Amino acid sequence: MRRYLLIVAALAVAAPLLVINNNSWSSADEAEHCIAVVLYQTDDGEFVLSDPECTTGSYDDLAISMGIGSFTSDGEVAAGSRYATLARHYDGDWYSGSSLSIAGSSCGGGWLNLSSSWDNRINSTWTFSGTCARVKHFDGSGLTGSYQSTWPRGTLSYMKNRANSIQYLG
């Protein structure tokens, strides 16, 4: 009887930890990868984005089909590509889970308000070689409130699951 009580007690402690430690909005099996393209930038620097294209398959295949490449070492979009990935945002720590990539032709300090499906969801951000070395994650819309930067990539700490707007800087 004592052995069964120990097993039940261990399960009572371990089960909530399994739920708490699952900080990603999706498991690897159901991860969705989306890419939104910067259509233009307003006078105040806000990016106006296309509707995102998404897949539960290969991110690379989606990027190729959309003409998304990379930046060259001098900050130009690679030959044969219409756009480059400015940053890729993940809902899991250390670049795991579902992702939202923003693609465009330059960073230039542009910014965006996150859609309702990505508000308060980002845990980590990866930037690519080129001009977008710093990404600032703001607590409020329109670049307001507290912020945390990733240089050039990283998992957020105090801004984890709090970003409502993002700025892309060189």
Q: Which domain holds residue 55?
A: 25-169
**What are the tens digits of pLDDT across the range 114-147?**
999 999 999 999 987 666 888 999 999 999 999 9
**What are the tens digits of pLDDT across the range 1-53?**
554 444 444 444 443 433 333 444 444 458 999 999 999 999 999 999 999 99
**What are the tens digits of pLDDT across the range 89-118?**
999 999 999 999 999 988 888 999 999 999
pLDDT at 131: 67
- Any domain includes 1: no
d(CA 140, CA 67): 32
Given a cut of 80, whether residue 150 has pLDDT beyond it is yes
Share of the chain above pLDDT 70, in %: 80
- Any domain includes 19: no
The candidate with the shortest Cα–Cα distance to 33, out of 82, 94, 136, 102, is 102
**Where residue 87 falls among pLDDT bands split at 50, 70, 90?**
very high
Is pLDDT larger for residue 17 or for residue 160? 160
Residue partners of 147: CB distance under 8 A and separation at least 6: 136, 137, 138, 139, 159
pTM above 0.95, yes or no: no
ω into 152 cis (within 30 of 0): yes
Question: Using CB atoms within 10 A of its CB, is residue 110 exposed (0-12), middle (13-18) or buried (19+)?
Answer: buried
Identify the CATH number of the domain in which residue 92 sits.
Answer: 2.60.20.10
Q: Amino acid identity of 128?
A: F
pLDDT at 130: 61
- Any domain includes 149: yes
Q: How many folded domains does the chain comprise?
A: 1
pLDDT at 81: 84
d(CA 138, CA 120): 10
- Any domain includes 131: yes
pLDDT at 106: 83
In the chain the beta strands, taken as DSSP E runs, fall at: 33-41, 47-49, 53-55, 68-69, 83-90, 99-104, 111-113, 124-127, 134-140, 144-150, 153-155, 165-169
- The stretch 154-163 carries a mean pLDDT of 94
- Any domain includes 20: no
> What are the residues facing 53 on neighbouring strands?
35
d(CA 123, CA 22): 12
Is pLDDT larger for residue 93 or for residue 77? 93
